[in-house]
Amino acid sequence: MLNRSYNALRPNFSKVLDTQEYHEKKIKEIDQGLMDIANEKNPRLRADITKMLLAQRKVHLLRLSSLKEENIKNIDHDYDRAYKELFHFFKFPLVKRRPQTKYFINDLGQKQIQPFTEYINFQGVELEVTYYGGELGDPDRMVWLAVMGNAIRYLDFVKEFGWIPYSTANIARDAKFGSQTSKVSKSLRKLRLTDVEFKTPFGGFAYDSGGFHMIDTVKPIIVKKLKAQIYEKIESKDPVKDKLFIDQAQKILYSIQPRTPKINLVSFHKSLMDAIVKNQITTVDNWALNRLSDVGEKTLFLYFYDVAQWWKSNTPKRINLLEIMDLSDIKLHFRKAKGKEYPEWKRAKDQIETFLGNIKSVAKFIIRWEWVGEKENTWLHVYIDKNAKQIPSSPKQ
């Protein structure tokens, strides 16, 4: 028999917090209700309640999809976003599942981080990456996304000043670290120190040797002094022509806590500032990304999310199994038998299958996929929904 009140599942958006979390919770409750009603012996009652629950589930799904799209659109600026240019931080296998930090003892007997270099060749682009603060992991990526999300939200402000005020507490909140501000400081340092040199041009940018779309400096400033600078700049602007900048500056001023004595100014590497000035940056669906748990599937989500912005073909996007393993930092395991070692290709494919299934559950841009070939010549064919709206464009100024 039924053991829950299904009236409680009826959508009444005016009396609840109309949030993604609310509708996601309701969908889970309805799914449980559908499992419960399957045990009902009265076929008519079972059919009626099942029909009602499926209708309610559809309402919540539609509202959830709408909220996700609204959240992506809800960025306080108007400019053309270049869909094709998510940073190479996402396009290359730089984020490790288990990042390592190597140490050495210096002449004074002190323990120091040892720089080491990695060579990457991914889809025809060669990189030379030097990690001065240890390899990059998912926490570093989440800090990067938190800072960049804020920079995109206040794009005209960043264009004007070249930096954005940001407290480590706010970064920790946006990166889902809670109150662990020490993790933020560590990640900011690693991001600033990681050096990447491109061997060949990519994405329409000419990178200098060592150039990387990364955070350049993080330095504290007295809030009173910061506010004076912002107010002075606001007063020098035209209220009509520079309305976007003025609105963003006022929101930043409003967001600074009154009792905060100091705050950090986060500035960006020249190559990133060039992209910002040219409006060649974009954003990410963090709501969907945060519903994924594994580091590798997050990387694949970002990779295919990027592809979906510009892939306008009915043919699938092809990527070799070895490349997709590199991208998600999956190692090829070997099975020993009769004194020989055999690579476990199926194990790697199964792990990628799990990642793709989880990604498809939160993303609208993947229709289906299939495997072609065998062993090291195995290719993943991913069919992208070319009509799915990922990141809405904004009108030109």
For residue range 264-285, list pLDDT tens digits in order: 898 887 777 877 777 666 667 7
Q: Does 173 lie in the same domain as 41?
A: no
Phi, psi at residue 84, to the nearest 5°?
-80, -5
How many CA atoms within 13 Å lie on the side-chain side of 59? 15
Q: What is the per-residue pLDDT for 250?
A: 93
Q: Which helix or strand (DSSP H or E) is residue 112 part of?
A: strand 111-113
Q: What is the per-residue pLDDT for 69?
A: 56
Domain that holds residue 377: 295-384
Q: Does 229 lie in the same domain as 182?
A: yes
Give, in degrees to the nearest 5, the angle at Cα 281 between 357 and 248.
115
How far is residue 283's CA from residue 43's CA, in Å, rounded to a whole number? 49
Residue 265 within any structural domain of the chain = yes
Q: What is the per-residue pLDDT for 257?
A: 75
Residues 6+ apart with CB under 8 A from 346: none
Q: Does 278 lie in the same domain as 142?
A: yes
How far is residue 114's CA from residue 111's CA, in Å, rounded to a whole number? 9
Pairing of β 136-137 and β 262-268: unpaired
Residue 264 within any structural domain of the chain = yes
Residue 396 within any structural domain of the chain = no
What radius of gyration do the chain's Cα atoms show? Answer: 24
Q: Does 379 lie in the same domain as 230?
A: no
Render the burial of 19-54: b for 16+ CB within 10 Å, e for the rest: ebebbbebbebbeebeebbeebeeeeeeeebeebbe
Q: What is the per-residue pLDDT for 124?
A: 66
Q: Does 277 lie in the same domain as 306?
A: no
How far is residue 86's CA from residue 75's CA, in Å, rounded to a whole number? 17
Q: Does 343 lie in the same domain as 261?
A: no
Q: Does 238 lie in the same domain as 111?
A: yes
Q: What is the per-residue pLDDT for 372?
A: 93
Q: What is the per-residue pLDDT for 3?
A: 31
Residue 367 within any structural domain of the chain = yes
Q: Does 159 lie in the same domain as 112?
A: yes
Domain boundary among 49, 73, 97: 73
CB-CB contact of 278 with 213 (8 Å): no
Q: Does 99 lie in the same domain as 22?
A: no
Domain boundary among 283, 307, 341: 283
Residue 148 within any structural domain of the chain = yes
Residue 78 within any structural domain of the chain = no
- Count of domains for the chain: 3
Residue 168 within any structural domain of the chain = yes
Q: What is the per-residue pLDDT for 7?
A: 35
Q: Any long-range contacts for 387-390 (C-beta under 8 Å, 24+ apart)?
A: 388/308, 388/364, 389/69, 390/72, 390/83, 390/285, 390/305, 390/308, 390/309, 390/364, 390/365
Q: Supply the CATH number for residue 312's domain.
A: 1.10.10
Q: Does 310 lie in the same domain as 357?
A: yes
Residue 395 within any structural domain of the chain = no
Give, in degrees to the nearest 5, the angle at Cα 393 between 391 and 395.
160
Q: Does 347 lie in the same domain as 221?
A: no
Q: Does 255 lie in the same domain as 302?
A: no
Low-confidence ranges of the chain (pLDDT < 70): 1-17, 65-66, 68-91, 124-125, 198-213, 279-283, 309-310, 387-397
